[in-house]
Structure 1
Amino acid sequence: MKRTKTSKAWMMEHVNDAYVQRAKAEGYRARAAYKLLEIDDRDHLLRPGMTVVDLGAAPGSWSQVAVKRCAGGRVFALDLLAIEPITGVDFIQGDFSEDRVLDELTAGLGGSRVDVVLSDMAPNMSGIELTDQARSIHLAELALDFAVNHLREGGAFVVKVFQGAGFMEFREEARQHFRTLAVRKPKASRDRSPEVYLLGTGFKG
């Protein structure tokens, strides 16, 4: 009964959410688009002609933003889940930590480096706080490792991280690879959510 009430409350909040309604009106696949839009409006990461990789892309709203703002560039999206095709996005389905997926992406890049790596990945929540936090940090570490191995010098990295155990250590690890590292909490991120976004710019190479 409790779970049913919680699910109904979430659905009501979701349906009435201003960002959900705006996403439907403006053609974005999820309200998460406005998190990236706000970060980019402030920090000017995405520019025409750039090569962008979107990790954990499903359902595709961040890739939609990247395609619009990087006109004439290339956007690669990766996820375990399938997504409906997006014009201008090269989608690879699979686990980006697996060699097969990385080889397919590397072949697509044709030897070129990436300008921006985006990661809005989150684990499937178990409801066990310590477990979920550990999984979140693990995904962030995988995204950072990918960025370190594929970004061009001076490139940028945006990654979702949940505040909690391991957060400060991960932030310090990321800081070592970028000239500047900032924390962003977009308005579209719900207040009660522990999620924040780390923004690394000026990749040291």
Structure 2
Amino acid sequence: MASKGKAKPAARNLKKRVKTARGRTVSSTRWLERQLNDPYVAKAKLEGRRSRAAYKLIELNEKHKLVKPGMRIVDLGCAPGGWCQMAAEIVGADPDDPRIVGIDYLDMDPIPGVIFLKKDFNEEDAPQALIDALGGHKADLVLSDMAAPTTGHRATDHLRIIALVELAADFAIEVLAPGGAFVAKVFQGGTEHELLAMLKKHFRSTFHAKPPSSRQDSAETYLVATGFKG
């Protein structure tokens, strides 16, 4: 027989909402609200990760086995260090044998075993600075989570990010050891056929991947190229 007690109240909507504030735009309010309700942001804080972006590389690595112990890795656009941090854990980098080199024009707190260059990768001398930091060694993996400042014009923004990816790909081809891999953030839309054609000449396999932690409403995806031919 059904209980005659009071019916249980319906579950509350626990989503956190941000009140509008003077000086805060609608878009920034939406971004803050999304951050407060993002499970990956909460997970990053709980696990001591530098950013939610770490889980994109973690998930890509779980599926495609990109990062392995002993590797030498270059991380382009590395701040605040989520990818460097994760890679250092797997590679086994230490201060006496740094195996990861990161570059960004933004500040990044030190990570043991990671050489950080505060520099814009677009600068003419940036590729050579990274090569020098590798100490004469070839890299096994080049990562790029770089994104150009957005203009709000989708076609223009896409061209900017593709230009960055092409620059990163040219660098990867120069520094990778045979069998190495290249991973770069791109945004869906427009054409990438010239970039893909170039990568297919130099890598045995090229494909796109969208890790679960990459927001589903975002056009963001990752271009992965493996098996560098040398």
Q: When the two structures are superposed, what TM-score results if normalisation uses the length of structure 1? A: 0.94
In the TM superposition, what whole-angstrom CA distance separates every residue of 1:130-157 from its partner, at most 9, and x where no partner exists?
A: 2111101001001101100000011011
Give the gaps of 5 or more residues in structure 1. none
Structure 1 position 163 matched with structure 2 position 184: no
Q: Does the aligned pair in 2 maintain the 1:171–1:198 contact within 8 Å?
A: no
Structure 1 position 21 matched with structure 2 position 42: yes
Question: How many positions carry a matched residue from both structures?
Answer: 204
Mapping 1:35-54, distance limit 5 Å: 35-54=56-75
Q: Which moved more, 1:186-195 or 1:100-109?
A: 100-109
Q: Which moved more, 1:169-178 or 1:56-65?
A: 169-178
Q: Report % sequence identity.
A: 47
- Alpha-carbon shift at residue 78 of structure 1 (Å): 0.5
- Alpha-carbon shift at residue 117 of structure 1 (Å): 0.3
Which letter maps to 1:35? K
Partner of 1:33 in structure 2? 54
SS of residue paired to 1:176: helix
Q: Does the aligned pair in 2 maintain the 1:161–1:167 contact within 8 Å?
A: no
Higher helix fraction (1 or 2): 1
Q: Does the aligned pair in 2 maintain the 1:79–1:95 contact within 8 Å?
A: yes
- Alpha-carbon shift at residue 6 of structure 1 (Å): 2.7
Mapping 1:57-96, distance limit 5 Å: 57-72=78-93, 74-96=99-121
Q: When the two structures are superposed, what TM-score results if normalisation uses the length of structure 2? A: 0.84
CA distance in 1, matches of 2:160, 2:138: 28
Structure 1 position 203 matched with structure 2 position 228: yes
Partner of 1:143 in structure 2? 168
Q: Does the aligned pair in 1 maintain the 2:202–2:228 contact within 8 Å?
A: yes
- Pair 1:46–1:10, CA change in 2 (3 A): same
Q: Which runs of 4+ in 1 moved over 6 A?
A: none
Partner of 1:9 in structure 2? 30
